């Protein structure tokens, strides 16, 4: 694996987490919007659009699983495979004067769960920071390699 592969893999993780945070922020911003449906991203392995569990299930008995567990399997990062809208109905609130009220005076509110969205956001931020630190470590390793050639 070259240094450029490390950068590309970490960059794909940054992009996937940025999109996750984008949709989570949209959900939080619309928590009080009547009729709004929460959206979630589905992540997949970037190389062949395969989930990690599918990749493990497809491995043969020739030691490939051991390579993955030792970090020797070459991955290509993550990507957002699709954005899924939660179809569950939101809470019904009685507000007969609201323009979206039904015949009984009820308005369907958003189905966004604020606590779940905040947990998603915290997880995405943590993963984003992890990818940034990978890039920083690769950058420092590159700089050290260049410094070694200058001193030689």
Residue percentage of the chain with pLDDT more than 70:
79
Total-model pTM: 0.74
pLDDT digits (tens, 9 = 90+) for 28-82: 999 999 999 999 999 988 764 455 566 666 655 555 555 555 555 556 788 898 9
Residue 30 CB neighbour total at 10 angstroms: 16
Mean pLDDT for 124-140 is 93
Alpha-carbon span 25 to 118, nearest angstrom: 9
pLDDT digits (tens, 9 = 90+) for 10-25: 899 999 999 999 999 9
Distance in angstroms between the alpha carbons of the first and the last residue of the chain: 25
Q: Is a pLDDT exceeding 90 seen at residue 86?
A: yes
Strand (E) or helix (H) holding 3: helix 3-29
Torsional sign, CA 43, 45, 47, 48: negative
To 5 degrees, how large is the angle CA 35–CA 36–CA 41? 150
């Amino acid at each position: 694996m070259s240094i450029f592969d490390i950068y590309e893999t970490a960059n794909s993780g940054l992009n996937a987490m940025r999109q996750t945070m984008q949709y989570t922020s949209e959900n939080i911003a619309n928590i009080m919007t009547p009729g709004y449906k929460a959206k979630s991203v589905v992540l997949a392995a970037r190389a062949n659009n395969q989930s990690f569990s599918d990749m493990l299930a497809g491995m043969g008995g020739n030691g490939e699983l051991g390579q993955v567990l030792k970090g020797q399997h070459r991955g290509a990062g993550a990507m957002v495979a699709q954005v899924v809208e939660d179809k569950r109905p939101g809470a019904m609130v009685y507000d007969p004067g609201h323009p979206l009220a039904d015949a009984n005076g009820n308005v369907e509110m958003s189905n966004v769960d604020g606590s779940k969205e905040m947990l998603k956001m915290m997880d995405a931020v943590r993963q984003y920071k992890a990818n940034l630190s990978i890039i920083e470590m690769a950058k420092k390793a590159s700089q050290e390699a260049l410094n070694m050639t200058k001193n030689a």
